[in-house]
Amino acid sequence: MNIHEYQAKELLAKHGAPVPAGHAAMSVDEAVAAAEKLPGPLWVVKAQIHAGGRGKGHFKELPEGSKGGVRLAKSIEEVREHASDMMGNTLVTIQTGDEGKEVQRLYVTDGVDIDEEFYLALLVDRATGRIAIVASPEGGMDIEQVAHDAPEKVHTFTIDPATGLMPHHGRSVAAALGLEGSLAKQAAKVTASLYKAFIATDASQIEINPLAVSG
């Protein structure tokens, strides 16, 4: 079963992962109301479909060159404009095919100043049947493209089912992301939260892209 981003973030927050505040919306007015509940002054309006590449996608119904399905808003009025562009329209991404998918839900979150972006995921390794951690310093991008163009930047660590997640896994993730000190400790905590959520939900894959460091 696939779940939307807002549902995934609720799940991760439940298991201790730090996520930006946000609210789901089923209409333009609900999106505006969601933004008004958040402190601002920046908001992010995100189309909710079961496909990656939303930010670089395009809407069939909008003029060529229009923005994609993840947009930054600097005012409540911009939130309304972006929500109006997305709701009910068809978002085409690298994963949807040419037919695209209709946007029926939005997710409005607090905007944050991002210093660095990373990739972190847990999945079931089909070759071994074990849970694997995948980490990369190249976040905010299609991980399959990164693996193709720069495979040395994608790091995989297998978890022994007899012992589960161990402290060395957190250290390995931090090293793979190039993090030290307090950021390394935070990366280890996020990895542990991701693992808890993975086990609790009997998931096949949980992905954070991007995992961000903000000032």
From 78, 81, 116, 207, the catalytic residue: 207
CA-to-CA distance for 166 and 157, rounded, in angstroms?
11
What type of residue sits at position 179? L
User: Which three-class secondary structure state does DSSP give residue 65?
Assistant: coil
DSSP E strands, the chain = 22-25, 43-47, 58-59, 70-73, 90-92, 101-102, 106-110, 114-124, 131-136, 155-158, 205-214
From 5, 6, 107, 119, the catalytic residue: 119
CA-to-CA distance for 98 and 14, rounded, in angstroms?
36
Q: Is 207 a catalytic residue?
A: yes
CA-to-CA distance for 56 and 209, rounded, in angstroms?
14
Half-sphere exposure for 112 (CA within 13 Å, toward CB): 17
Annotated catalytic residues are 119, 207
